[in-house]
Protein backbone atom coordinates (compact mmCIF):
# COMPACT_ATOMS: atom_id res chain seq x y z
CA UNK A 1 0.00 0.00 0.00
CA UNK A 2 1.37 3.40 -0.99
CA UNK A 3 0.44 6.64 0.75
CA UNK A 4 2.27 9.41 -1.03
CA UNK A 5 2.02 12.78 0.69
CA UNK A 6 -0.22 15.36 -0.98
CA UNK A 7 2.44 18.08 -0.87
CA UNK A 8 1.84 21.75 -1.61
CA UNK A 9 5.33 22.02 -3.13
CA UNK A 10 7.41 19.41 -4.88
CA UNK A 11 9.78 17.55 -2.55
CA UNK A 12 12.23 14.69 -2.91
CA UNK A 13 10.24 11.50 -3.71
CA UNK A 14 11.74 9.50 -0.82
CA UNK A 15 10.37 12.14 1.57
CA UNK A 16 6.96 12.26 -0.10
CA UNK A 17 6.59 8.48 -0.07
CA UNK A 18 7.83 7.85 3.49
CA UNK A 19 5.11 7.02 5.99
CA UNK A 20 4.64 4.96 9.13
CA UNK A 21 2.48 1.91 8.43
CA UNK A 22 1.10 -0.45 11.06
CA UNK A 23 1.45 -3.58 8.92
CA UNK A 24 4.56 -5.03 7.33
CA UNK A 25 5.33 -7.67 4.74
CA UNK A 26 6.05 -11.13 6.09
CA UNK A 27 9.73 -10.81 5.19
CA UNK A 28 12.74 -10.68 7.49
CA UNK A 29 14.99 -7.63 7.53
CA UNK A 30 18.47 -9.12 7.46
CA UNK A 31 21.21 -7.91 9.80
CA UNK A 32 23.34 -6.76 6.85
CA UNK A 33 20.43 -4.61 5.65
CA UNK A 34 20.02 -3.11 9.12
CA UNK A 35 23.72 -2.23 9.12
CA UNK A 36 23.09 -0.04 6.07
CA UNK A 37 20.35 1.78 7.98
CA UNK A 38 22.62 2.33 10.99
CA UNK A 39 25.38 3.53 8.67
CA UNK A 40 23.00 6.22 7.39
CA UNK A 41 22.25 7.17 11.01
CA UNK A 42 25.97 7.20 11.78
CA UNK A 43 26.57 10.02 9.30
CA UNK A 44 23.91 12.37 10.65
CA UNK A 45 24.98 15.82 11.80
CA UNK A 46 25.39 16.29 15.55
CA UNK A 47 26.36 19.05 17.95
CA UNK A 48 30.16 19.09 18.32
CA UNK A 49 30.14 15.73 16.50
CA UNK A 50 29.00 14.17 19.79
CA UNK A 51 26.97 11.46 18.04
CA UNK A 52 24.72 10.90 21.10
CA UNK A 53 22.32 8.45 19.41
CA UNK A 54 22.08 4.84 20.55
CA UNK A 55 20.02 2.02 19.06
CA UNK A 56 19.17 -1.44 20.36
CA UNK A 57 17.27 -3.80 18.08
CA UNK A 58 15.98 -7.36 17.97
CA UNK A 59 14.60 -9.65 15.28
CA UNK A 60 11.14 -11.16 15.60
CA UNK A 61 11.27 -14.52 17.33
CA UNK A 62 14.06 -13.61 19.75
CA UNK A 63 13.61 -13.25 23.51
CA UNK A 64 14.78 -9.63 23.31
CA UNK A 65 12.14 -8.84 20.68
CA UNK A 66 9.52 -10.20 23.06
CA UNK A 67 10.98 -8.11 25.91
CA UNK A 68 10.90 -4.93 23.85
CA UNK A 69 7.31 -5.76 22.87
CA UNK A 70 6.37 -6.06 26.55
CA UNK A 71 7.69 -2.53 27.16
CA UNK A 72 5.27 -1.05 24.59
CA UNK A 73 2.05 0.75 25.42
CA UNK A 74 -1.05 -1.40 24.99
CA UNK A 75 -2.13 0.62 21.95
CA UNK A 76 1.10 -0.21 20.13
CA UNK A 77 0.88 -3.88 21.12
CA UNK A 78 -2.37 -4.03 19.12
CA UNK A 79 -0.57 -3.62 15.82
CA UNK A 80 3.20 -3.99 15.91
CA UNK A 81 3.43 -7.72 16.66
CA UNK A 82 3.93 -8.39 12.94
CA UNK A 83 6.99 -6.12 12.66
CA UNK A 84 10.12 -8.09 11.72
CA UNK A 85 12.30 -5.78 13.86
CA UNK A 86 11.68 -3.85 17.06
CA UNK A 87 14.14 -1.23 18.24
CA UNK A 88 14.68 1.14 21.12
CA UNK A 89 16.28 4.53 20.52
CA UNK A 90 18.17 6.51 23.13
CA UNK A 91 20.50 9.44 23.48
CA UNK A 92 23.49 10.21 25.69
CA UNK A 93 22.67 13.24 27.84
CA UNK A 94 26.25 14.53 28.17
CA UNK A 95 29.33 14.93 26.07
CA UNK A 96 32.33 12.76 26.96
CA UNK A 97 33.64 15.79 28.90
CA UNK A 98 30.64 15.53 31.25
CA UNK A 99 29.08 18.77 29.98
CA UNK A 100 25.33 18.58 29.28
CA UNK A 101 24.50 17.94 25.63
CA UNK A 102 21.41 20.12 25.35
CA UNK A 103 21.01 19.16 21.67
CA UNK A 104 21.24 15.37 22.06
CA UNK A 105 17.54 14.75 21.44
CA UNK A 106 17.70 16.91 18.31
CA UNK A 107 20.69 14.93 17.10
CA UNK A 108 18.92 11.61 17.71
CA UNK A 109 16.11 12.98 15.56
CA UNK A 110 18.55 13.79 12.77
CA UNK A 111 19.98 10.27 12.97
CA UNK A 112 16.48 8.79 12.81
CA UNK A 113 15.72 11.03 9.84
CA UNK A 114 18.75 9.67 8.00
CA UNK A 115 17.84 6.11 8.96
CA UNK A 116 14.23 6.58 7.83
CA UNK A 117 15.13 7.94 4.41
CA UNK A 118 17.76 5.23 3.87
CA UNK A 119 15.08 2.69 4.82
CA UNK A 120 12.61 4.26 2.41
CA UNK A 121 15.15 3.93 -0.40
CA UNK A 122 15.28 0.19 0.36
CA UNK A 123 11.52 -0.37 0.62
CA UNK A 124 11.63 -0.58 4.41
CA UNK A 125 9.07 1.19 6.59
CA UNK A 126 10.01 2.75 9.93
CA UNK A 127 7.31 3.48 12.50
CA UNK A 128 8.48 5.31 15.62
CA UNK A 129 6.42 5.01 18.79
CA UNK A 130 6.34 7.33 21.78
CA UNK A 131 4.27 4.70 23.60
CA UNK A 132 7.05 2.84 25.36
CA UNK A 133 7.68 2.39 29.07
CA UNK A 134 11.20 3.78 29.01
CA UNK A 135 11.62 3.57 32.79
CA UNK A 136 10.93 -0.17 32.70
CA UNK A 137 13.26 -0.57 29.70
CA UNK A 138 16.01 1.26 31.58
CA UNK A 139 15.74 -1.29 34.38
CA UNK A 140 15.47 -4.31 32.07
CA UNK A 141 18.56 -3.38 30.07
CA UNK A 142 20.48 -1.70 32.92
CA UNK A 143 20.80 1.54 30.95
CA UNK A 144 23.23 3.95 32.66
CA UNK A 145 21.81 7.20 34.06
CA UNK A 146 23.65 9.22 31.41
CA UNK A 147 21.35 7.81 28.71
CA UNK A 148 17.65 8.21 28.02
CA UNK A 149 15.56 5.71 26.08
CA UNK A 150 13.31 7.83 23.93
CA UNK A 151 11.19 5.79 21.54
CA UNK A 152 10.47 2.31 20.31
CA UNK A 153 10.53 1.65 16.57
CA UNK A 154 8.88 -1.03 14.44
CA UNK A 155 10.61 -1.78 11.14
CA UNK A 156 9.86 -4.01 8.20
CA UNK A 157 9.30 -4.05 4.48
CA UNK A 158 6.22 -2.27 3.22
CA UNK A 159 3.34 -4.65 2.64
CA UNK A 160 1.10 -6.76 4.78
CA UNK A 161 -2.65 -6.95 4.87
CA UNK A 162 -4.38 -4.00 6.55
CA UNK A 163 -7.42 -6.20 7.18
CA UNK A 164 -5.30 -8.00 9.80
CA UNK A 165 -5.54 -4.85 11.94
CA UNK A 166 -8.34 -4.08 14.40
CA UNK A 167 -11.14 -2.15 12.66
CA UNK A 168 -10.20 1.27 14.09
CA UNK A 169 -6.59 0.90 12.99
CA UNK A 170 -7.52 -0.45 9.57
CA UNK A 171 -9.61 2.68 8.99
CA UNK A 172 -6.73 4.88 10.13
CA UNK A 173 -4.30 3.00 7.91
CA UNK A 174 -6.46 3.65 4.85
CA UNK A 175 -7.10 7.34 5.59
CA UNK A 176 -5.29 10.19 3.84
CA UNK A 177 -2.13 11.56 5.37
CA UNK A 178 -2.45 15.09 6.76
CA UNK A 179 -0.06 17.80 7.91
CA UNK A 180 -0.59 21.33 9.16
CA UNK A 181 -0.07 24.13 6.66
CA UNK A 182 3.35 25.80 6.50
CA UNK A 183 2.02 29.12 7.78
CA UNK A 184 1.18 27.36 11.05
CA UNK A 185 4.85 26.58 11.77
CA UNK A 186 6.95 28.92 9.60
CA UNK A 187 7.31 32.66 10.17
CA UNK A 188 9.41 35.05 8.13
CA UNK A 189 11.08 37.69 10.28
CA UNK A 190 8.49 37.31 13.06
CA UNK A 191 7.14 34.83 15.53
CA UNK A 192 3.52 34.58 14.39
CA UNK A 193 2.27 31.35 15.89
**What are the φ/ψ torsions at residue 173 (nearest 5 degrees)?**
-65, -35
**pLDDT, mean of residues 138-147:** 97
Mean pLDDT of the residues in the chain:
94
What is the structure's pLDDT at 133? Answer: 98
What is the structure's pLDDT at 87? Answer: 98
pLDDT higher than 80, residue 1: no
**127 pLDDT band (50/70/90 cuts)?**
very high
What does 123-173 look like in DSSP terms, one character per residue? TEEEEEES-B-HHHHHHHTT--TTEEEEEEEEEEES---GGGS-HHHHHHH
Q: How many CB atoms lie within 10 A of CB 60?
A: 18
For residue 32, give the 3-state DSSP assignment.
helix
Q: What is the set of domains in the chain, with CATH numbers?
A: 13-173 (3.40.109.10)
Would the CA dihedral through 150, 155, 159, 160 be positive or negative?
A: negative
**151 pLDDT band (50/70/90 cuts)?**
very high
What is the structure's pLDDT at 119? Answer: 97
Would the CA dihedral through 93, 94, 98, 100 be positive or negative?
A: negative
pLDDT higher than 80, residue 78: yes
Tens digit of each residue's pLDDT (9 = 90 or more) over 93-118: 999 999 999 999 999 999 999 999 99
Across the beta sheet with 147-157, the strand order is 53-59, 85-92, 147-157, 124-129
Q: Report the predicted TM-score, pTM, of the whole model to 2 decimal places.
A: 0.93
Higher pLDDT, 191 or 115: 115
> In the chain, what percentage of residues exceed pLDDT 70?
99
Tens digit of each residue's pLDDT (9 = 90 or more) over 165-188: 888 888 888 888 889 999 899 999
Amino acid sequence: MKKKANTEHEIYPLLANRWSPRVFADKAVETETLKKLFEAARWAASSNNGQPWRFMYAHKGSDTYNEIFEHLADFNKKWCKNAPVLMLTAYKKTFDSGKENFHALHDLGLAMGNLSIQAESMGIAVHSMAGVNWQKAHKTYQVPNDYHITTAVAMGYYGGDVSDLPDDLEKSEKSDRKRMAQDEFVGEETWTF
